[in-house]
Amino acid sequence: MSLLSKNNRVQSVSLFILAIAAILKIWVYFRNRSLFLDDLNLSRNIVESSYLDLISQLNYEQFAPPLFCHILKGCTAVFGVTEYSLRLFPLLAGLVSLYLFYRLAERFIKNPVILYPLILFSFSDYMLRHNTEVKQYSSDVLCTLLFLWLALHVDLKKKKHWIGIMVLGIILLWLSMPLAFVLAGVGVYFAYGLLPKNTGLSVALVKENAVPLQKIVLMGTLWLSSFLVLYLVNLRHSISIPSLQAFHANHFLAFPTSIADVQQSGEVLIGLIRNVVGKTAIPILWGVLCFFLGVYTLFKKNVAEALLLLTPIIACLFAALFHQYSLIVRLSLFMLPIFALIIGVGAAFLFEKAVLLSKPRKQLGILTMVVLMTLSLEYRSALPYFYKEFEIEAPRPSLEKLAAHDENHYPLYLVQGGIPAYEFYTKLYRDKLSIPSEEVYYGKWDDQLPPLAEEWKKKGIKKIWLFNSHTYGESLQTLNREIEQIGRVITKLESQTSFAVLLELKLSNER
């Protein structure tokens, strides 16, 4: 078989993978699952706030870049306030990202192993989730891939090229905050290209590189200025929220001042590989091996391209070390395609070495690689969601059942985690759910139902609905115990992670 026919076959399989991945994302999108807590709270900001308000600090402990919020608000203005309109832009970002990743993989991997990182990225369960969710992480990945691709294709000697990428960077920082790390890599990539490749630095060479250097400095200065304005008007408010700092505490890196600090940082760093290849030991070891081999191969072949891919990772790790950026999965999602590419480069290196072996060793080497790659693909694969339900939380079905129930006029108590769903689906949603409760009580995190039940009974309330969502673990167990303590369950309208129950309150001597 000729090399040309092999390349054509690999290209055909690659395009088939992209097509299946795109169909899967569209399939999950049209299954139209309920919004979950963070989705709901960001959606409430988008619907309730003006375009101007969306530039500054958001409500409900949410953060999203202003331009992302504006795009989603525009979608709701055109198509109405629905899950479809709110998720449309993340879906489109995910679909375009598939193509950009493929084009980058073509650049870095020249053998059939290109299929491995392509599958890792295309069928990542994390990518599927965030491509069909009302959050900015899908556009973070899009912006990352777009600027990596642009860096490899623009010619700074052409005025329209350098002005175009400069202006695009200024604007898209307001769409994707972690793009700042990627732009650092782009700047280093361009700057490295100006360095002399010999020991002598002639006057002629200095003059030749002077104008491009000025362009790079201007570009970097304007990018930094745009980011600083974004930080002042938006980002600094979100970073300073104490509850968010506490939530992300275990996802920062720590200076190695104790064994516990080293263990935490090690776990966080391994997590970046785990996000790509899965959580079991063999895939992680395989991923780590391929990552370091990929770094070695990149520096050996092209230092500038190696710096382009690695600088965003290094910059992000420094930010995490100083507790300015969390490495929780969704915030580090923009690095997932970079890790997948580097791991793919390392796997391609091993493949090239394997094919040079004698026939028995060659077959054994390639078979071993296939087994290891298959193991690393299995755990993070999103393919089962062609037939499995992809659901995070399901408050809408419970509320729909409550809205259709004959006895929905009784008072309603909202467990704190259920408030966002109630507020969105009954007040902001295009097809608002009508729940004609006599009175609605808004719960708090520290509420205890027995004292509340006594207050309700003093008001003459004998029956009351309770709606719960986003309550897990010990908190859910406590909630269920208190429900049994204060009343008899007459009706339970249940869906995944959410339920509405009609309680007949017990008399004090019945407890």
In the chain, list all ranges with CATH 3.40.190.
Answer: 395-510
CB 294 within 8 A of CB 344: yes
What's the pLDDT band for 40 if we cut at 50, 70, 90?
Answer: very high
What's the pLDDT band for 201 if we cut at 50, 70, 90?
Answer: very low
pLDDT digits (tens, 9 = 90+) for 342-357: 999 999 999 999 888 8
Q: Is 88 left (phi over 0), alpha (psi -120 to 50) or beta?
A: alpha
pLDDT digits (tens, 9 = 90+) for 132-150: 999 999 999 999 999 999 9
Distance CA 265, CA 247 (A): 16
Distance CA 51, CA 111 (A): 48
- CATH, domain range 395-510: 3.40.190
Instruction: Report whether pLDDT(84) > 80.
Output: yes
Least confident of 171-185, 328-342, 358-372: 358-372
What are φ and ψ of residue 467, in 5° steps?
-115, 130
How many angstroms separate the Cα of 69 from the Cα of each of 48, 63, 135, 138, 460? Answer: 12, 10, 9, 13, 45
CB 399 within 8 A of CB 433: yes
> Which pLDDT score is estimated for 244?
66
Looking at every residue in the chain, the average pLDDT score rounds to 90
Indicate the pTM of the whole model. 0.92
In this prediction, what percent of the chain has a pLDDT beyond 70?
93
Distance CA 249, CA 319 (A): 13
Mean pLDDT of 352-378: 89
Q: Which of 169-183, 200-214, 357-371, 381-395 has the highest mean pLDDT?
A: 169-183
